[in-house]
Copies of this chain bind each other. A is one copy, B any other.
Amino acid sequence: VSYLNQSTRRPGRPRDAVREAEILTVVSNLLAEVGYDGITFELVARQAGASKPTLYRRWRTKRDMVVAAIKAMPSTGHGRTIDTGSLRGDLLALTEILAETLEASDTALIATLLQAGLADPELCDQLEARTGPTGARLPDDVRARAIERGELPAGADPFAYDEVAGAVLVTRALNGLPFDARYREQLVDTVLLPALHTPPTCPSHHAGIFSGRNHPTD
């Protein structure tokens, strides 16, 4: 029976998934070697032994291609859990993870992810799911434990963290400004903790920048 192919499959030779994976691997490697700006369709085609039309058929822009490559990266930090015993410790740990990630990336790539990826909730979810906590959002379990310990009120809103932590560190990274342990400590103590303790003024309606919850409930 062929009740499945009535509409889902278009005619013609299907794209070669293996080919696509190979290409994206090349893109990933090139990202590390020459950075985002150094990547060109020409170069990718050469390195991958593919033709430019094969690339253009899949991705209309370089950004699309790079984003696809990042999405296709294998999982690394899966399962890592933050639990230092105190909210402050957890926040310092989370911001440290984020800082490490930013230190390992070139600024153009960060900017790209900012512009490209973050408008794409799927990418954010992939990143979180694949790499474990990125430090860009406050994990639910961390928040739950803080509430259990009585460090946060019951209905504490992750808004303060989700919106602020990533934005501040990413911005500094883009500027080449330092975001060392001392700086992060100050951020946690004078901004994040006071803000998290503040009860939400209204049913928090934010679109999480780094959270992938782009189209919220409002």
Contact = CB atoms under 8 A, between A and B. Distances in A.
A209 interface: yes
B160 A209 contact: no
A42 B174 CA distance: 28
A195 to B, nearest CB: 4
A177 B205 CA distance: 13
A201 B206 contact: no
B114 A190 contact: no
A214 interface: yes
Assembly stoichiometry (copies): 4
Given A118-B175, A168-B164, A198-B190, A182 B157 contact: no
A202 interface: yes
Interface majority SS on A: helix, strand, loop or mixed?
A: helix
A168 B177 contact: no
A119 interface: yes
B201 A195 contact: no
Contacts of A135: none
Interface residues of A, number: 45
B114 A174 contact: yes
Interface in A145-204: 157, 159-160, 163-164, 166-168, 170-172, 174-178, 182-183, 185-187, 189-191, 193-195, 197-198, 200-202, 204
A193 B187 CA distance: 14
Contacts of A170: 167, 171
A191 B190 CA distance: 10
A129 interface: no
Contacts of A182: 205, 218
Which among A178, A185, A194, A204 has the highest number of chain B CB atoms within 10 Å? A194
Contact of A190 (B172, B183, B201, B214): B201
A72 interface: no
A190 B200 contact: yes
Interface of A: 107, 111, 114-115, 118-119, 157, 159-160, 163-164, 166-168, 170-172, 174-178, 182-183, 185-187, 189-191, 193-195, 197-198, 200-202, 204-207, 209, 214, 218
